[in-house]
Chain A
Amino acid sequence: MAAETLLWLIPLPPLAAFILITLVTSRKKALSHGIAIAGAGSSWLMSLLVFIQAIARPNLAENPIATSISWLPTGETALRIGVQLDNLSAVVLFFVAWTILMIFIYSVGYHNYGQPVGERDVPGMPPHGADVKDSHGHTHRVPSVEPMYSRFFGFLSLFAFAMYLLVVCDNLLLLYTGWEVMGLCSYLLIGFWYGKDSAKKAAMKAFMTTRIGDVFMLLGIVFLYTQAGTLNYREIFGNADLMHTLATTPAGFLGLSQAGGIGLLLFIGTVGKSAQFPLHVWLPDAMEGPTPVSAMIHAATMVSAGVYLAIRIFPLLSAGWEPGGALTPAMMVVGAVGAFTALFAATIAVAQNDIKRVLAYSTISQLGYMIAAVGIGAYTAAIFHLVTHAFFKALLFLGSGSVIHGVEHGVMHSGEHVDPQDMLNMGGLRKKMPVTFWTFLIGGLALSGFPIITAGFWSKDEILSGAFHGGQTVIFVTLALAALLTAFYTMRQITLTFLGQPRTEAARHAHETPWTMTLPLVVLSVFAVTAGWSGIPEHFPLIGGWLPNWFEHFTGAMLGHEGEPAAFSAVPLLVSVTVSLGGLTLGWLVYKGVKIAVDPLKKALGGLHNLLKNKYYLDELYNFLFIKPAIWISEVFTSRWMDRVVIDGILHAIARAFLWIGRLVRQGFDVPVVNAGGDALASGIKKGGAALQPMQSGRIQQYMVVTITLVMVFTAILFAILKLV
C-alpha cells in the first residue's frame, strides 16, 4: 500500500475500536481488550511500516509523505486538510506507536483481567478486591477486576486515535482537533473513578487549566490563518516571503512581530498541555486517574504533544533569528518559561512521597528542559530529548504502577491500612519484584542522565551543550541545577522504594506483577538505553563517530539547513557528568539508611521542606486569586445582581410604570368618563323612551302632524347645509 494511504489509515483502527467497544462489546471484557489491542496493534504496525519508508526516502524534509483533501468551503476558496509525515513527525510517530501499544498491553494486567469480581465493587470506584478460597479452605484477599474494564479500553482507544491524528496531520486545525479530543480523554480518564471526589475535582482541574492554554492557542490559530490564508505547515513554514512578512510586520501587541505574536499565542497552548509554569498545576493531580496507566498517558504521551507543537512552530518563534545571534523576544520567553519550570518542578519533586507524584513533577521538569531547548534554538536537542524522555518516562510510570500494584497486593494480604503509593511505606522491593526493579533502575538512570549507557544522558547533554554554546549562561546554570536535583530525587525514589529493608508488612508481602505488565517494562527499557545511540555527537571524546549521529542529521534537515555541529567543549560535558553522578550519590547517601517512615530531609530543610511539599502553595494562591473570584462573579455578580436586580429590575420598573399608567387611565378616564358616560347614555335612552311613550297614542292624525313637521325640519336643515357647501 502506498505510504500516503497508510498514513490516512493509521489513526483509524483505534477509533473503530472505540466505537465498537462503546456501542457493542461493552459487556464483554475479553472481547473489548482484544479489539482495543488489535486496533492499537494495527496502528503500531502501520506506523512502523510508514516510518521505515520515511527514513528511506531521500529528502524527506522537502518532500514529505503527504496528501490532502478539500474540507471546508470558505467563500471562493476552501480549507484543505490532510496528512503528512516529515522528519519531525516520523520520529514522534515512532515513539508514540511503541508507547501506546505498551500501555494497551499493560492495562490488561493492571486492571486485573482474569481476577474475580469484587463483591463490594461498583462502577466509578476503584476495585476493592475479592475474597477467594483456595483448595485448603483458606480465604485470601486478592485484587478484583475493574468494574468498568471495557470502558477503560474504549477511552484508551479514543485517546490513541487522537494522538495518532495529531502526529500525522498536516495542519494546525487537525492538530487542534487531536489536541482537544485528547484533552477530553484525559478528562475522562483522570475522572475514570468518577465516584471519588478527588478524581472528579482533578479531572475538572485538568480540563479547565489546559483549556486556558487552548483558548489562547485558538487565537493563535486564527491569527495565523488570517495572515497566511492556510494552516498547512509546509505552506506556511516553506513560504519564505510569508515568513519574512510575518517576521517583519508588528503584531500590534507587546512589541512583538506577527510571527512572534502568533508563536507565543500558540505556545500558551503548549504551556497548558505540557504543564509548564504557571499552568502546571493540573498534572500532579492528574495522578488520580487509574494508576499509572492514565497517569502515564498524561505524563508520557499527551504532554509530549505540547512539546511537539512548540517544536513544530519553532520557525515562527525563531523568525528573524540567526543561529548564534541574539534570541528573538518570543524565544526568550519560551526559554525562560522552560528553564524556570525545569528547576521549579524539580525542587517540588524532592519533597513528594507519593511515587507517582515524584514522577509527575519530574515530567514537568523534563518537559521544561525540552521547552528551554526550543527557546535557545537547540532544535534537534529538543526533539531528541522528547523521544528519549518518552521512552524512559513511560517506563518509569509503568514501573511505578507495577510497584503500586505489587504493594497493593501486600496490603490486601497483610490487611494493613497503609497508602500503597507512599514510598516511605516501601523499601526492599528489589528482591520481591526483580523485573520491576531492574527496569525501573534503567529508567531512573536514564532520567538522571547516567553517563554513556543511558539515552537520557545523550539528550540532556545535548541540551546543556546547546545552552552553553549559545551563550545562554543563565539557562545553562538553571538547567544544570535542575539536572542535579533530578538525579538526587531519582536516587531517593529508587532507594526508598527498592533498596534497604521493607518498612511495612505490606512491602514485605508485595510480589511481582503478571507478564502483561512486566513485558512492556522490558521492551521500554531496551529503548531507554538504545534510543540514545542514534544521536551520539561526532565530536564526543573516544566514542564519538563510532555510530553516525543519525538523529541530528535526520531531524536537523527540517530546518532547511544543515545545523553545523557545535564545536566541542569540555565544560558542558563535565558539568553534565558531574551533576548526574553527584546527584545520584547524594541521593544514595541521604536515603540509604532510612529505617522508619520519616524523610531525613524534613528535619534538615525545616520550613523550606514544608513549602516544597505544599508545592509553594500555588494551588491555594490560584484558588484565592482566580477560582473564588470567578465563582463570585458568576453566582453573585452576574446571576443575582446584574441579571436579577439590575436588568430585571429595570424591566419590572417599566412594567410597573405601564401598570400605573393603566390604572390612571382606568380611574381617571375609564371610570368617570367612559363608564359613567355609557351609563348615562343607557339611562338617558331609557328615560327618553319612557317620555316618548305617550306619543304612541294610536291616532293617525297625530302621527301625520309629527311626520310632516319632522320632514320639513330635516329638509330645511339639508338645504341649509347644501347651501353652505
Chain B
Amino acid sequence: MDLIGKHFLTIILFLPVLAALVVFCLPKQQVKVIRWVAFMASLIPLGLTIFLWIKFQQTIPGFQFQEQVAWFPAISSTYHIGVDGLSLPMVLLTTLLVPLALLASFSITDRVKTYMILFLLLETGMLGVFVSLDLLLFFVFWEIGLVPMYFLINQWGGENRNYASLKFILYTMAGSLGLLLSIQLIGVVAGSFDLPRVMEVWNNLQGTLLGLPVSTVKAVAFWAFVIAFAIKVPVWPFHTWLPDAHTEAPTPGSMILAGVLLKLGAYGFLRLVLPLFPVEAKRYAGGLVFLAVMAIIFGAFAAFGQRDFKKLVAYSSVNHMGFVVLGIAVAAVAAGTQHATLALNGAILQMFNHGLSAAGMFFLVGVLYERTHTRNLDDFGGLFAIIPIYGGLLLFISMASLGLPGLNGFVSEFLVVRGAWPVFTAATALSMLGLLFTGAYILLGLRKVLHGPLNTRWVGHLKEINLREVVVLAPLVILIQLTGIWPAWILGVINQAVTMLF
C-alpha cells in the first residue's frame, strides 16, 4: 500500500502504457474484448485522479504527490513529477476525456487493436506533459503525444487526412525545434533540468551568457518557447493547422485534440513561460493581447463563415482559446494584482471548460456524421423533429460553448474579461465583437441542423442518439452544469496555484 501511495502519479501516468501492452497481447479479431479492455483500463486512471483530487490539499503551497528518481545523471535530468492546482485540473480533464473518447471509439471497426494502443499511448504522452517537473522529461512527453495523434489522423481520418496530418505534425515539430534548443540552453546554463531548481537559478542570472547579454539570450529563449506553445494553442495566426487536423481526425481524435492537446500549449505558457520569463512576458504582452483579440474575433468570424459543421466547431476552438491567451497576457502584465489573479483563474478554468464543451461538440458532430455521412450544414434542417434527444443535447452543449450564464463557459469568460478590462480596456471591448459572433455561429449551427423545414431526405432512416452515445455525453453535461452553478469545486484548486505561483 505504501508503494502505491508513494507512486500514485507514476501509476496514473503509466497505467495506459500497461493497458496498451495488454491490448497488444490480445488477438486482433476479438474486437469487442479489445474495446472493453481499453475502455475499462482507462477508467482506472480516472478513478485514481478523482482520489488524487480528494487527497489534494488546497492550503499547501507548491507541488504535491512529488516523485523524483535519477534518470539521466550525466546531464542532471531526473524523473521528477508532481501536481499543483494548475496541473491537477488538466490531469482530471485528460483522464476524464480519454475514457469518453474510447467509448466514442466503439463505432470504429478498422484495425481496432492498433487504434486502441495508439490512443492509450497518447494518454500517457499528454499526462506526462502535465505532471513533468523536469524540462527534458516535459519535452519527451511533449513529443510522445504527437506521434500517436499523427497516426490517428493519418490512418483513421477523413478524405484529406494526409495533408492534415502532415500539416499537424510538421507544424508542431517546427515549434518543438526551438523548444528543444531553448530547453537545452536553460539546462546548460542552470546546470539542471529540474524545474524548481531552474526557476531559482534562471531568474537570478546576471551579466553575460555565451558572450551575449543575459537579456538577449532570455529574449531568444522566450520567443522559442512562445512560438512552440503558440502553435499548439493555437494562437492566431498559427491556427490554420487546427481546422484541417480537427476536421480530418476521427471523432474521438477530434475530442482529444480539442479537449486536451490544445491545452498543452496554454499549459506551457502558464507552467514555463510566465514563471521563467516574467520580464520578457511583460515586455511583449501587448503583442500577445493583439494576437488573442485577433483569435477571438477572427476565430468567431471564421466559424461563422463555415458550411462544414465540424470546421465550424474547430474554429470555435480558436475563438475560445483566445480568451485563455488573453488571460495569460493579463497575468504577464499585471502579475501580483487582483486583476491577474482573476484573469488567471479564468484562463485555467476556461481551459478546463473548453475541454468539456469542445469534446462534447465534436462528439455530437460525429454522431450526426456517422448517421448521415455528411457534415455540410446545408444538408440538414429541421432534424429536431426526428431526433429530439439529440437536439436537446446539442442545444445544451452549444449553449455551454456560447457562454450562457448558468453553464461553465460563462464563469471562465467572465473572470477573464473582468481581469482584462482594467489592464487592456480597449482590447477587452474589441473582444466583445468576438463574443457577439460566438452567438452568431452557435446559432447558425443550431439553425441549420435542428431548425427550419424538415429535410425529408432523413425521414425514416436517421436514428436517434443511442444509449452508449448518451453515456459519453452524460459526464460532460453534468460537469458543464455543475461548474456553471458551483464553480468553487474546481476554482478552489485552481486558485491555490494562482495565488501561490503568480
Contact = CB atoms under 8 A, between A and B. Distances in A.
B443 A208 contact: yes
A227 B277 CA distance: 30
A633 B345 CA distance: 33
B287 interface: no
Given A123-B385, A176-B405, A200 B338 contact: no
B432 A634 contact: no
A75 B421 contact: no
Contact of A203 (B171, B432, B451, B454): B451
A197 interface: yes
Contact of B451 (A75, A122, A191): A191
Given A181-B406, A195-B454, A123 B384 contact: yes
B454 A73 contact: no
A340 B337 CA distance: 44
B452 A75 contact: no
Contact of A634 (B304, B447, B495): B304
Interface in B447-461: 447, 450-454
B392 A222 contact: no
Given A124-B454, A203-B451, A638-B302, A252 B425 contact: yes
B240 A648 contact: yes
A638 B301 contact: yes
Given A215-B432, A215-B436, A651-B240, A73 B301 contact: no
20 contacts: A22-B392, A71-B486, A74-B341, A75-B341, A75-B342, A124-B384, A173-B405, A177-B410, A179-B405, A180-B405, A195-B382, A195-B451, A204-B443, A207-B439, A211-B436, A211-B439, A219-B428, A638-B301, A644-B240, A647-B240
Nearest to A251: B425
Interface string A204-241: 10011001100110110011011000000000000000
B302 A184 contact: no
B196 interface: no
B382 A75 contact: no
A69 B437 CA distance: 34
A620 interface: no
A648 B237 CA distance: 10
A73 B491 contact: yes
Interface in A141-181: 173, 176-177, 179-181
A173 B413 CA distance: 13
Contacts of A177: 405-406, 410
Given A124-B384, A176-B405, A72 B411 contact: yes
B61 interface: no
B452 A194 contact: yes
Contacts of B303: 634
B491 A72 contact: yes
Given A226-B418, A639-B302, A642-B298, A219 B429 contact: yes
B213 interface: no
Nearest to A204: B443
Nearest to A180: B405
Contacts of A218: 414, 417, 432, 435
Nearest to B338: A75
Nearest to A188: B395
A602 B354 CA distance: 55
Contact of A181 (B405, B418, B429): B405
Contacts of B411: 72
B418 A225 contact: yes
Interface in B391-438: 392, 399, 404-406, 410-411, 414-415, 417-418, 421-422, 425, 428-429, 432-433, 435-437
Given A180-B405, A207-B443, A222-B428, 6 more contacts: A74-B495, A177-B406, A180-B406, A634-B304, A636-B305, A647-B237
Interface string A610-641: 00000000000000000000110111111110
Say what secondary structure dominates the interface of chain B. Answer: helix
A76 interface: yes
B288 to A, nearest CB: 18
Nearest to B386: A123
A643 interface: yes
Contact of A74 (B342, B392, B443): B342
A203 B443 CA distance: 9
Contacts of B422: 226
Given A194-B450, A630-B440, A647-B237, A74 B305 contact: no
Chain A to chain B: the 6 pairs with minimum beta-carbon distance, closest first? A634-B305, A639-B305, A75-B341, A177-B405, A635-B305, A634-B304
Contacts of B345: 73-75
A183 to B, nearest CB: 8
Q: Which of B239, B302, B304, B422 has the most CB of A within 10 A?
A: B302
Contacts of A635: 304-305
Interface string A98-125: 0000000000000000000000001110
A194 to B, nearest CB: 4
Interface string B128-159: 00000000000000000000000000000000
B404 A226 contact: no
Contact of A200 (B388, B399, B436, B452): B452
A642 B236 CA distance: 11
Given A74-B342, A215-B432, A634 B302 contact: yes
Interface in B175-204: none
B487 A72 contact: yes
Contacts of A642: 298
Contacts of A643: 239-240, 243, 302
Nearest to A203: B451
B306 interface: yes
Contacts of B305: 631, 633-636, 638-640
Given A75-B499, A181-B404, A639-B306, A194 B384 contact: yes
B498 interface: yes
A102 to B, nearest CB: 26
A181 B406 CA distance: 8
Contacts of B418: 222, 225-226
Contacts of A640: 305
B47 interface: no
A630 B300 CA distance: 11
Q: Which of B303, B437, B451, B488 has the most CB of A within 10 A?
A: B451
Nearest to A199: B451
A647 B170 CA distance: 16
A179 B435 CA distance: 17
Contacts of A179: 405
A387 to B, nearest CB: 27
A337 B453 CA distance: 38
Nearest to B166: A655
Interface in B76-117: none
A75 B338 CA distance: 7
B163 to A, nearest CB: 10
A334 B182 CA distance: 57
Contacts of A212: 436
Contacts of A76: 499
Contact of A75 (B417, B440, B486, B498): B498
